[in-house]
Amino acid sequence: MIPELGLFALILALCVSIVQGIVPIAGAQLGYRSWIAIARPAAQAQFVFVALAFGCLVYTFVVNDFSVRYVAMQSNSLLPMMYRISAVWGGHEGSMLLWVLILGVWSIAVSVFSKNLPDDMVARVLGVMGLISVGFYLFVLLTSNPFDRLLPPAIDGRDLNPLLQDPGLIIHPPMLYMGYVGFSVAFAFAIAALLSGRLDAAWARWSRPWTTVAWLFLTLGIGLGSWWAYYELGWGGWWFWDPVENASFMPWLMGTALIHSLAVTEKRGSFKNWTVLLAIFTFSLSLLGTFLVRSGVLTSVHAFATDPERGAFILMLLVLTIGISLTLFAWRAPKVGLGGRFNLISRESALLTNNVLLIVACAAVLLGTLYPLLLDSLDMGKISVGPPYFDAVFLPLMAPAVFLMAVGPIARWKLASVPDIVVRLRWAAVVSLVMGLLTPILMGEWGAVRSLGFTMAFWVMCSVFLMLRERAMKSNASGNVFSKIISQPNSFLGMCMAHFGVAVFIIGVTMVSSYEIEKDMRMDVGDSTELGGYQFTFEGVTQVKGPNYNADRGQIVVKKDGVVETVLLPEKRIYTVQTMPMTEAAIDTGFLRDLYVSLGEPVSNGAWSVRIYYKPFVDWIWGGTFIMALGGLLAVTDRRYRLVSRIARKIKADNKSGAEEVSAKGAATQES
């Protein structure tokens, strides 16, 4: 009964989204106020129905209803409760339901946090989001219904893929989808602006916080995914240039370009067409990612069970969404004015150059991901493009981008002078060059690429400190340096923090790729080995029984200078239902290093092959991405957005009846 209720709720959500997609847009174009007013309640009703549907699916997982085919495929009665819930999005059907749920979350968020926007703008934005919803509801209902019954019911489920039975995987997909789907808001704003012809600084200001929030979720999602791959796949690597990883990385690159381009459009009114195009591209790449992962055109470790029929459906959605929006762009963009002029040496130029670099990098990833497919369709054979291609292409593109990251925020808008920039950045240049040369020497081994890496990281860090210092010295705020810095606008501090995060990330990557030590060895009980200043003693393997697996658990005591640091317990698990062996690495996480131990195969009586890694600064990789995301969060809390919204709300309220004023004030108090 509950699954049928869920299905029914989903059908109702589709019906509401059809209304949401058509009536408000038509109303905005024709000027019917009552039609425009439908946008917000429709988005909210749609969310209620899709949340109900999702709740029903969660319930069927919780009560182990194996008469539902999807539950029988993904879950098992022995599966712990938290994985039963995360199993909801462990397969294709459920993860698509999560996709539409999150689209619902973003829609209701727009409907609630848009009190300061003109109503016709909100109507268009929510209308576009409604149209996207229609497409995806149809996709779920017609090709991937998670509520399909299984007759006769299965006695027990096939269990969740053991790789996915992990805390990191509980939150990774929701985060990632919040990012992917969140770009639909920026997209909807862009389309709304093209439809209304109001492509101006106000539009950029409205869509900026939404884009930043989507970007920060995507950043977190990718970071979590990389972290999961690091500790769960047992390979010790953190990025593999796998097509599915690329599918999430491409919108990130494009979204990063979009954020910076929006800043220019808001501040200077330039790059309007370019920004709109980026907004369209960013969401298009999110859709393309969905297509690549689920259609079976590419093979990947992460790919979902694929089905050409679904692929054709998503491709149709893709063609409709992107095709229509690009047509709209081709039609409307020529009428958009050029905005403020700027000089060759200016902040605009620096940002534009970085934009181009990010987009070329994104195109390179796209080419690498699709190249096998392109050659294949041209009948030119089948090949696979591996990490060597991506590594070779990526570094030369990112090095100048990172260089400009420091120059852009220092340069003046419109017209900057090279001598001025040089003078202001001279200390950053000196410090970063010296540190870049010295750090590898201090670490014990010099190399050109690692030296470049450190130079870049220190270059960005120094420039961030210089910017903060300059601002603090100019500030009129009272108090010490710290309070002067705190008094700066949050958007500026957020930018500093995000850039700082990039520097932290670069240090992590450079350190790990240059100074990682690994050792593979056969260890008898009692054997010891030394690595990175630590002593590892193997104390044998015991049998352990988990809820749905049996494991061999190794015990390795780690000592430093004779003092026990930690005891590591790597496991080799066999999950009983799928009889799939899994390596659970044991990791001792530290600020400056990770100790990573994974168990190989039993060699002979009591002896095992053991792999030990010493990974310096590896957590800085994810720490850096986390700091970047935090920077995004700081930026969206900027007073500017709240101040503007309060003023706008006041003006709007003054023009309206008293009753509406009360409700607007109510919302304002809620927000603060």
Partner 1 sequence: MVRFSIPLVIFIVLAGFLYAGLSLKPREVPSPFINKSAPDFQLQKLDNMNELFSNKELLGKVWLLNVWASWCVACRQEHPLLVNMARNGTVPIYGLNYKDVPTQARRWLEEHGNPYALSIVDYEGKVGIDYGVYGVPETFIIDREGMIRHKVIGPLTRTELRKCVLPVIEVLEKSEPVNVVALSEVRESCSS
- Contact residues toward partner 1 (CB under 8 A) are 233, 235, 240, 242, 273, 277, 280-281, 284, 291, 295-299, 301, 308, 311-312, 315, 318-319, 322-323, 326-327, 329-331, 333-334, 370, 372-374, 376-377, 381-384, 386, 520, 522, 579-581, 598, 600-601, 603, 609, 611
Q: Between 520 and 530, name the residue whose CB sits nearer to partner 1.
A: 520
Pick 415 or 574: Cβ nearer partner 1: 574
Q: How far is the CB of 285 from partner 1 (least distance, A)?
A: 11
Q: How far is CA 134 from CA 103, 204, 214, in A?
A: 11, 26, 21
Smallest distance, Å, CB 162 to partner 1?
A: 11
- Spatial neighbors of 223 by CB under 8 A, at least 6 apart, are 622, 625, 626, 629
Residue 241 or 403 having the CB closest to partner 1: 241
What is the smallest separation between the CB atom of 637 and partner 1, expressed in angstroms? 34
Contact 634/493 with Cβ under 8 angstroms?
Answer: yes
Cα 655 vs. chain centroid, distance in angstroms?
41
CB of 581 to partner 1, least distance (A): 5
Please name every residue paired with 581 in a beta bridge, in sequence order, or none if there are none.
Answer: 574
125/370 with CB nearer partner 1: 370
For the bound state, the minimum distance from the C-beta of residue 362 to partner 1, rounded and expressed in Å, comes to: 14
Closer to partner 1 by CB, 228 or 291: give it: 291
Element (H, E) at 612: strand 607-616
On whether the CB atoms of residues 601 and 609 are closer than 8 A, the answer is yes
Nearer Cβ to partner 1 (40/272): 272
Please, which residue, 329 or 620, has the CB nearer to partner 1? 329
Q: Which is nearer to partner 1, 319 or 481 (CB)?
A: 319
Q: How far apart are CA 318 and CA 304, in angstroms?
A: 18
Backbone phi, then psi, for 239, in 5-degree steps? -155, 135
335 or 474: whose CB is closer to partner 1? 335
Alpha-carbon gap, residue 587 to 591, rounded angstroms: 13
Run of H or E including 228: helix 201-232
Residue with Cβ nearer partner 1 (240 or 342): 240
CA 171 and chain centroid, separation? 12
Burial of 366 (0-12, 13-18, 19+ CB in 10 A): middle
Which segments within 142-290 are labelled E, that is strand? none
Of 451, 452, 463, nearest to 500 by C-alpha is: 463
| 3-state SS, residue 614 | strand
Angle subtended by helix axes 167-196 and 272-295, to nearest 10: 140
User: Taking the complex as a whole, how short is the minimal distance between the CB of residue 426 and partner 1, in angstroms?
Assistant: 41
Query: How many Å apart are CA 559 and CA 562, to the nearest integer?
Result: 6
Least Å from the CB of residue 185 to partner 1: 21
| The two three-digit tokens of residue 223, written as one number | 């970071």
As measured in angstroms, the least distance from the Cβ of 478 to partner 1 is 51
For the CB of residue 519, give the shortest distance to partner 1 in the complex, in Å.
10
Burial of 655 (0-12, 13-18, 19+ CB in 10 A): exposed
Smallest distance, Å, CB 504 to partner 1?
A: 27
| Cα distances (Å, whole numbers) of residue 560 to 214, 531, 566, 589, 616 | 44, 10, 9, 15, 16
**CB contact at 8 A, 3 and 63:** no
The distance of closest approach from Cβ of residue 554 to partner 1 in the complex, given in angstroms and rounded to an integer, is 13
Rounded to the nearest 10°, the torsion over CA 374, 240, 507, 358 is 20
Q: How many Å from the N-terminal Cα to the C-terminal Cα in the chain?
A: 43
Q: What percentage of the chain's residues is helix, strand, coil (to nearest 5)? A: 65, 10, 20
DSSP β-bridge partners for residue 583? 572
How many whole angstroms separate alpha carbon 52 and alpha carbon 672? 29
Q: How far is the CB of 555 from partner 1 (least distance, A)?
A: 18
What's the closest the beta carbon of residue 69 comes to partner 1, in angstroms? 16
Nearer Cβ to partner 1, position 312 or 662? 312
**Would you say 378 or 563 has its CB closer to partner 1?**
378
Task: Determine whether 200 is exposed, middle or buried from the number of CB atoms within 10 Å of its CB (0-12, 13-18, 19+).
Answer: middle
Residue 380 vs 563, nearer CB to partner 1: 380
Please identify, using beta-carbon distances, which residue of 180 and 240 lies nearer to partner 1.
240
Q: At what angle do helices 201-232 and 167-196 cross, to 10 degrees?
A: 160
Shortest separation between residue 326's beta carbon and partner 1, angstroms: 4
